Amino acid sequence: MIRPIVRWPNPVLTQVATKACVDDATLTLARDMLDTMYHANGRGLAAPQIGVLTRVFVMDAAWKTTDPAPEVFINPEILWRAPQMGLGPEGCLSIPGVVADVMRHSSLILQWQMTDGSTQAEKLTGFRAICAQHEIDHLNGIVTLDHLSPDARTAALVVLG
Ligand code: NI
- Judge whether 77 counts as a catalytic residue: no
Which residues of the chain form beta strands (DSSP E)?
44-46, 56-59, 71-81, 85-90, 100-105, 107-113, 119-125
| Residue 91 CA, ligand 1 centroid: distance in Å | 7
> Which residues keep their CB under 5 angstroms from ion ligand 1?
92
Q: Cα(125)–Cα(56) distance, rounded to whole angstroms?
A: 20
pTM given for the model: 0.96
- The answer to whether the CB of 100 falls within 8 A of the CB of 142 is no
Domain 11-160: give its CATH superfamily: Peptide deformylase (3.90.45.10)
Range 25-38 average pLDDT: 98
pLDDT tops 90 at residue 65: no
What is the pLDDT confidence band of residue 64, given thresholds at 50, 70 and 90? Answer: confident
What is the pLDDT confidence band of residue 59, given thresholds at 50, 70 and 90? Answer: very high
Q: One of 71, 77, 90, 135 is an active-site residue; which one?
A: 135
